[in-house]
Structure 1
Amino acid sequence: MGNTELKPQIIHSNQWVMVKQLNHPQYGPIKVFKNCQDKYQCLRTFMVQEDEAKKMYDEFQKLNQEQYNLVRINKIEHEVESQLCSTFHKIHLTLDYTEKHLKNVYQINVQKFSVDILKTLSYLDSYKADTCQFCLSKLLLFGDQVRIVYQQLLSQQGDYQRILSGDLKCEDWYFAPEVMKCLRMNDQKTFNNEKATIFNFGLIMIAIFTEVTPYEAEIYNYEKCCLTEKFDKYINLFTQFHINKKLEKLILACVSFIPDKRPTYQQLLDQFSDPSIFEEQVEDQSPSPQKTDSTYLVPTNQLVSFNPTVMDERVLSDTTNKKLNDNQNRILMKKIDQEKHQNTPICQSPKFRQESMQTQTTIGNLRSTKLYDLDKLQKSSRNKQNQSKSQQKKTLIIKYEVLTYQILRLVLCYLTSFVYCWWEVGHMMTAQIAKNYLRDNRPDVLAWADSLVQDFNSLTDGKSNTFAEAAVWLDDIKETGTEFLFSWHYTDRPINPDGLLIKIEDESRNINSIYAINQAVAVLTNSKTSRNRHTVFKAQMLRVLLHVIGDIHQPLHDTSLYNNSYPDGDAGGNFLNIQLQNGTLMNFHSFWDSGALTFAPNNSFLARPLSQSDSEYLDKWSKDLMKKFPISKYSNYDMTNPSVWTYLGFRQAQQFVYPMVAASNSYSSDYEKQAIAFCEENLIVGGYRLGSKLIEIYDQILQNEANLSVSE
């Protein structure tokens, strides 16, 4: 018998080599093959009885003819095999395979994606397919094409059945309220599959626009099987993106708590077929990028007028960062179960609308002040560019002849340096603010954290022996010439105003400051090591936490600018030089690391190890800032989610940090004033967040220890 008759053919082909075998969460048990062109396919085999074989084979054939945007079936083979006295039928499917998942809007043409996916879901609905657990992990990227894994066909089990079986990761929770109601009651499926799937589609659209998944936003209570109060804040986060209002309204309608208020597939298709709905409504819109075969295609419509200093006030509430108590969960479950009768979704409640209006008023008031008047700032910048060079020089000489010797020395000291983070003063200030916050509110947490700092002191050079000094340690190790943990200092979301075709490696997206914080938390709260709070690894991870949370609050650690001058990115402003007011050039990243020239270089100001007088000065400085910016001002800020922090830093860089210097490589005195105020507030917020994160970690450690005592 020739090779062409052997089944499955891919196993016996000389062109394909098996590279691994696994139980894939979507495909099921598969064998993965690769050819010389680095293309991948996988083999999925079903063993069934004779009466089921023909039905399954015909089903696959029909599906293969339709395809839509489902993962492509390349070959269907039917084989009969005899074992002892029994005859089995094997159905072999050879399918396209990839390990790339859809993550954000930068990877796709949003209109094409929306229309294609909705058509496919509509087709599956007509096919009576159960798609109530349609989620982001079922969307795979094949080049610039997004395809759905039709899991029901591959597992021979509907979504609702699989949910009831409990074989589902928390990351894949995309459930409409009515689905969870059935699950709580252990009831049969009584909901409308189309409307439930539309809810999930809305969540996916929010996730790819915000780059924050429902799991990361903590909108589900997995034990109670209901939505948490953070759902409102997740919706609020999405509304900050300034997308087309009509598109925003449609997506919000998709996640309505009332199924009848959600649109149908056809209604969405009718709306999404209009390209204008995906156009950004901004005053100064950059040219749209051309359609290309990009792996990551970044939209150009992101630079809009916005006040970054109050960004957090419209995002997640600090009160929702703590785990909901049982009473709150009961209230939420009651809200969900009675939603039909109340006719008022949570996200459309009067409280929600009131909070939104208050936020908009706050932003409007700030915009009207001189310090935060971005419109005036932009006009001033344009006027300045129109001045002659000689006039500019004369103005600069007059305006900055009183520049202090300390600032001049600061600039000269760093002209040739390539800096990656807040200077030492910024990191120590962040840690000192956290220390004072903990001292006043949770001295037990401070004692635990300080003891971990001391645990590691014998392994350092003596310059990072205190809580504040330890926040600089992660930079100290870079001076040894090693790139150890280098990528943990930043998360580079792209800003791409010229609409360039850019590619970002998966590692750059995944191994970053968010990953660093999550790793540190995982080590410090590991239940398997609850018996011992003090290990070298835990002491090291605490120092990582002290440093990286500070890094995140320097906006240029949360982005990289891509344009015609920097087609490979400017490394968070490290490749960009700006002209200071005295005509001197300075690294843009360094400008922001220095707190807009308010921090002196470390060899002249608060040099480590800190003297007693310097320690007292740092303590007083931090307390003065805490009085100026009390914690009560930030009651609506998210205090524990690093994904939200880095996103906000990205938006700050996008909306404020870059726009005023990117065109002319210079800045105005108004910009400098705003930047100084901006850095002060970011330092204080970073310190409060560091303290809050340490409290969250320590409470988890106490819980782990209590659980261990009970089990013993």
Structure 2
Amino acid sequence: MEVYNITAKYLDTYSSQGVDTVSTTTYEENAVWADDIKVYGDAQKAMEMWHYIGNKDSNPENLALKKDPMADSENALNAFTNIVKVLTNEKYVGQITEFKVNMLKMLVHIVGDIHMPHHTGSYYNSTIKSPKNEYWGDLGGNRQSINFYTSTGEKKSTNIHFYFDSSCFFYTWTNRLVRPLNETFKIYFQRELDRIIAQYPKETLNIDNTKTFSDWADESWNIALTTVYPFLAKNNEIHYGDDFYKTSFDMIQKRIVTAGYRLAYTLQTLFKPEKGLIKANTPLSYEQPITNDNNNSSQTKASTSESSDNQSNKAMAIVFGVLFGLTFVAFIISIIYFKKTAINSAYQRTSNDLIPAKNIHVQKLASTENNL
């Protein structure tokens, strides 16, 4: 719990200060930040390929494939390696930085992603072609269309990737979750957490903590190869309650719980050096402050210490303020002198192409979800 509270403090420190596309603070909300930022399109291309591994492919016909040349270097596997380097950098142990917060969010997200069967590779055959007749594969199941029939017989046309990402249509809402989460959804998540942990006890999952991130991906891809693709070769219809639904639902729920335990172990390993360095017991912004008679005295001592620190900070601020003011005045004087002595030129002009930054209003967009 100490490590959980430390990492929760990380997320709470920056998450409500404009780093996100939506104002979020809780662990659950930050877990989907990596999908939320996709609304920025090309502006976040650097992390677009971090959600999956594109080099664990199946090409039984030995086709000449059309693949992204960066697939072997820009993927979840390399992202995980670099995220670990950031979060364990000895120079910043115990320091909460914005970059570490963003990498923590990515870590939480991709550990979940990589436990889904179709975040780990693509299937290629001669029937899956691009408009230019290139063999471009099924894009992690996104181009493998299926029809899912609900418990009431309603037909849902989707793809096998989303079928598993939604836990076989178990986790779907008519309207996407709006964050910050309201109390109804918070209660729902807690109940669902209790249910899924009780249904799939840790001791039944055979979790081996010596396995690596790459091993986790191999597990997911083997599930796709041995279970999913053989089914798709014969059928593209799935009915609620049929054999494939029961098997795939049980599998994906186990993968979710397994991913949670592995994430917990990973966080305990990465943030162990930060124990005692982060005030993990202080209330988070979305929690009610806990106050009682026993901690009033300690709070008084803390406030006295903080008051002394504030006075020192104010003194430093005054000194720097004076220095900045003198520098600014000198700068203005030099500008006035330059304008008076400069020779007018016919080529001098004021460009209207540059918009002052203060006039640009960056609108926070609603959360969206891409399947990858």
> Does TM, scored on the shorter chain, surpass 0.5?
yes
- Alpha-carbon offset, residue 584 of structure 1: 4.5
Q: Which residue of 2 aligns with 1:544?
A: 106
Within 2, Cα distance between the matches of 1:471 and 1:602?
20
Q: 1:574 aligned to 2:142?
A: yes
Q: Which residue of 1 aligns with 2:77?
A: 514
Larger Rg: 1
Using a 3 Å threshold, how does the CA distance of structure 1 residues 571 and 495 change in structure 2: closer, same or farther?
same
Kept after mapping to 2: 8 A contact 1:456/1:540: no
- Alpha-carbon offset, residue 511 of structure 1: 1.5
Q: 1:488 aligned to 2:50?
A: yes
Kept after mapping to 1: 8 A contact 2:115/2:259: yes
Q: 1:556 aligned to 2:114?
A: no
Q: What amino acid maps onto 1:585 in structure 2?
A: S
Q: 1:466 aligned to 2:26?
A: yes
Give the counterpart of 2:192 among 605, 615, 621: 621
Q: What amino acid maps onto 2:36 in structure 1?
A: D
Within 2, Cα distance between the matches of 1:548 and 1:579?
27
- Alpha-carbon offset, residue 471 of structure 1: 0.3
Q: Please tell me the root mean square deviation across aligned C-alpha atoms, in Å.
A: 2.4
Using a 3 Å threshold, how does the CA distance of structure 1 residues 621 and 453 change in structure 2: closer, same or farther?
same
Q: 1:450 aligned to 2:8?
A: yes
Query: Which structure carries more relative contact order (alpha carbon 8 Å, separation 6+)?
Result: 2
Q: Which residue of 1 aligns with 2:237?
A: 666
Q: Which residue of 1 aligns with 2:262?
A: 689
Kept after mapping to 1: 8 A contact 2:144/2:159: yes
Show the 5 A alignment for 1:34-73.
none
Q: Which residue of 1 aligns with 2:313?
A: none
Which string of whole-angstrom CA distances, capped at 9 and with x for unpartnered residues, describes residues 76-129 of structure 1? xxxxxxxxxxxxxxxxxxxxxxxxxxxxxxxxxxxxxxxxxxxxxxxxxxxxxx
Q: Which residue of 1 aligns with 2:337?
A: none
Within 1, Cα distance between the matches of 2:97 and 2:222?
37
Q: Which residue of 2 aligns with 1:644?
A: 215
Which string of whole-angstrom CA distances, capped at 9 and with x for unpartnered residues, describes residues 455-486 of structure 1? 22112244431011100000000022233400
Q: Which residue of 2 aligns with 1:168?
A: none
Aligned with 1:591: secondary structure? helix
Kept after mapping to 2: 8 A contact 1:464/1:472: no
Within 1, Cα distance between the matches of 2:216 and 2:95?
28
Kept after mapping to 2: 8 A contact 1:478/1:484: no
Kept after mapping to 2: 8 A contact 1:450/1:467: yes
Within 2, Cα distance between the matches of 1:475 and 1:602?
18
Kept after mapping to 2: 8 A contact 1:579/1:585: yes
- Alpha-carbon offset, residue 516 of structure 1: 1.5
Within 1, Cα distance between the matches of 2:205 and 2:127?
38
Using a 3 Å threshold, how does the CA distance of structure 1 residues 602 and 480 change in structure 2: closer, same or farther?
farther
Within 2, Cα distance between the matches of 1:583 and 1:702?
51
Aligned with 2:138: secondary structure? coil
Within 2, Cα distance between the matches of 1:527 and 1:586?
46
Q: What amino acid maps onto 2:52 in structure 1?
A: Y
Which string of whole-angstrom CA distances, capped at 9 and with x for unpartnered residues, describes residues 507-537 of structure 1? 201221111111111101001223x420011
Kept after mapping to 1: 8 A contact 2:53/2:76: yes
Aligned with 1:495: secondary structure? coil
Which string of whole-angstrom CA distances, capped at 9 and with x for unpartnered residues, describes residues 37-93 of structure 1? xxxxxxxxxxxxxxxxxxxxxxxxxxxxxxxxxxxxxxxxxxxxxxxxxxxxxxxxx
Show the 5 A alignment for 1:91-490.
443-457=1-15, 458=17, 459-482=19-42, 483-490=45-52
- Alpha-carbon offset, residue 591 of structure 1: 1.4
Aligned with 1:626: secondary structure? helix
Aligned with 1:598: secondary structure? coil
- Identity fraction in percent: 28
Kept after mapping to 2: 8 A contact 1:596/1:676: yes
Q: Which runs of 5+ in 2 are unaligned?
A: 129-134, 279-372
Kept after mapping to 1: 8 A contact 2:21/2:37: no
- Alpha-carbon offset, residue 673 of structure 1: 1.4
Q: Which residue of 1 aligns with 2:95?
A: 533
Within 1, Cα distance between the matches of 2:61 and 2:276?
50
Within 2, Cα distance between the matches of 1:704 and 1:644?
32
Which string of whole-angstrom CA distances, capped at 9 and with x for unpartnered residues, describes residues 578-604 of structure 1? 122355421221212111111113625
Aligned with 2:3: secondary structure? helix
Within 2, Cα distance between the matches of 1:626 and 1:476?
27
Aligned with 2:230: secondary structure? coil
Q: What amino acid maps onto 2:14 in structure 1?
A: F
Q: 1:598 aligned to 2:191?
A: no
Aligned with 1:494: secondary structure? coil
- Alpha-carbon offset, residue 608 of structure 1: 2.6
Q: What amino acid maps onto 1:520 in structure 2?
A: I
Within 2, Cα distance between the matches of 1:583 and 1:449?
42
Kept after mapping to 1: 8 A contact 2:20/2:37: no
Kept after mapping to 1: 8 A contact 2:51/2:75: yes
Higher strand share: 1
- Alpha-carbon offset, residue 505 of structure 1: 5.2
Which string of whole-angstrom CA distances, capped at 9 and with x for unpartnered residues, describes residues 331-374 of structure 1? xxxxxxxxxxxxxxxxxxxxxxxxxxxxxxxxxxxxxxxxxxxx
Q: 1:679 aligned to 2:237?
A: no
Aligned with 2:84: secondary structure? helix
Kept after mapping to 2: 8 A contact 1:639/1:693: no
Which string of whole-angstrom CA distances, capped at 9 and with x for unpartnered residues, describes residues 221-269 of structure 1? xxxxxxxxxxxxxxxxxxxxxxxxxxxxxxxxxxxxxxxxxxxxxxxxx
Aligned with 1:658: secondary structure? helix
- Alpha-carbon offset, residue 665 of structure 1: 2.5
Within 2, Cα distance between the matches of 1:610 and 1:704?
30
Within 2, Cα distance between the matches of 1:625 and 1:634?
13
Kept after mapping to 2: 8 A contact 1:639/1:688: no
Give the counterpart of 2:201 among 619, 625, 630: 630
Farther-moved stretch of structure 1 (626-635 vs 557-566): 626-635
The aligned length equals 261
Within 1, Cα distance between the matches of 2:174 and 2:53?
25
Using a 3 Å threshold, how does the CA distance of structure 1 residues 541 and 636 change in structure 2: closer, same or farther?
closer
Within 1, Cα distance between the matches of 2:110 and 2:267?
13
Within 1, Cα distance between the matches of 2:208 and 2:174?
31
- Alpha-carbon offset, residue 700 of structure 1: 4.7
- Alpha-carbon offset, residue 639 of structure 1: 6.2
Q: Which residue of 1 aligns with 2:160?
A: 588
- Alpha-carbon offset, residue 701 of structure 1: 4.7
Q: Which residue of 1 aligns with 2:87?
A: 524
Within 2, Cα distance between the matches of 1:698 and 1:558?
27
Q: What amino acid maps onto 2:267 in structure 1?
A: L
- Alpha-carbon offset, residue 663 of structure 1: 3.6
Kept after mapping to 2: 8 A contact 1:527/1:704: no
Q: What amino acid maps onto 2:231 in structure 1?
A: M
Aligned with 2:127: secondary structure? coil
Q: Which runs of 5+ in 1 are unaligned?
A: 1-442, 706-712
Within 1, Cα distance between the matches of 2:46 and 2:178?
24
Give the counterpart of 2:272 among 659, 679, 699: 699
